[in-house]
Structure 1
Amino acid sequence: MEVKIKDLHPTQLYLSEKKLQDIQMLYQSVENPNINPISVLAIGDRLLITDGQHRAYQALLAGRTTISAEWDKDGGDELYHLYAQVCEERKIYSVLDLKNHILAQDEYEAKWYNWCDGFNQAAKQLLGVKKDAKDYSDR
């Protein structure tokens, strides 16, 4: 399915400069790049990005208004809802709002993965999720 990029809500606080450069090179290498669909989850009237924040951001920079998406069937709906709430608390409401949150790869890994580890542990306790529940920070 095709979704409007402006209608997507991020669930990630930062973007990796390196990942964006890699996707940008793919966009520049061919006229119609074969980009994997992003994964989305509908919560209320919002469409949350569960995988593909970088692809959505780069598509927007490339002048696209829509992007190919598929429904996320991996679970973790409650956790992604919490991620989206944290993004909104930090004034990240859309993919474009991530423009001031692009970090060098080492800083991205340190900040994002460390934040996710702590947040996921707290969320699992809050949500009563099993300790062996899937970690979504790498998406």
Structure 2
Amino acid sequence: MSHKDPNYLLKDLQPSQFYISQAKLSNIQAWFRKDDLSNFEPLPVKVLDGIPILTDGHTRAVVAILAGLESVPLVYEEDELDWNLYHYCVEQCNQKGIHSPYDLVNRVISAHEYEEKWINWCQQISSKLQQNQK
């Protein structure tokens, strides 16, 4: 089942994470060319409760913003992900005042902090949500 690719501006996308790893950011900036997006993998978007949610590619979105772009290639998320987890992450983003990838520009942290504050947090929340579903 093929959908037309989503047509949103970066400012319209709701992030589902609230930190960006400096290491990932630097890696992407090394190859990113704003005038040639041919090697830019489209960012996956899922519409939840009528809101276009960025399910992945947050760092690439921030790199594009830092390069002055307002839009990049997007694709509808086709994978069946843990939507309860995404709902919770989006709620947490909203509570932290993160409503678009632009809000992540000032939330770049070291790779070590990213592992601690984001990856570990996600794993704990995912485990809690799975326990609550049993």
- Which one of the candidate residues 1, 8, 15 is aligned to 2:13? 8
Aligned pairs for 1:1-139 (under 5 A) are: 1=5, 2-28=7-33, 31-33=35-37, 34-75=39-80, 76-126=82-132, 128=133
Larger fraction in strand:
1
The gaps in structure 1 that reach 5 residues or longer are 130-139
Equivalent-residue separation in structure 2 for 1:72 and 1:25 (angstroms):
26
Equivalent-residue separation in structure 2 for 1:57 and 1:18 (angstroms):
13
| Divergent runs of 4+, >4 A | none
Equivalent-residue separation in structure 2 for 1:104 and 1:123 (angstroms):
27
2:105 partner SS? helix
Offset of residue 112 of structure 1: 1.1
The question of whether the paired residues in 1 share the 8 Å contact of 2:85 and 2:125 is answered with no
The TM-score with structure 2 as length reference comes to 0.86
Q: Kindly provide the CA deviation profile for residues 29-68 of structure 1, in whole angstroms up to 9, marking residues without a partner as x.
A: x841411111111012211111100011111111111111
Offset of residue 69 of structure 1: 1.2
Structure 1 vs Structure 2 CA RMSD = 1.6
Offset of residue 89 of structure 1: 0.8
Letter in 2 for 1:47: P
- Residues matched between the structures, number: 127
Identity of aligned residues (%): 33
The question of whether the paired residues in 2 share the 8 Å contact of 1:41 and 1:77 is answered with no
Equivalent-residue separation in structure 1 for 2:35 and 2:79 (angstroms):
32
Equivalent-residue separation in structure 1 for 2:102 and 2:35 (angstroms):
23
1:47 partner SS? strand
Letter in 2 for 1:116: C
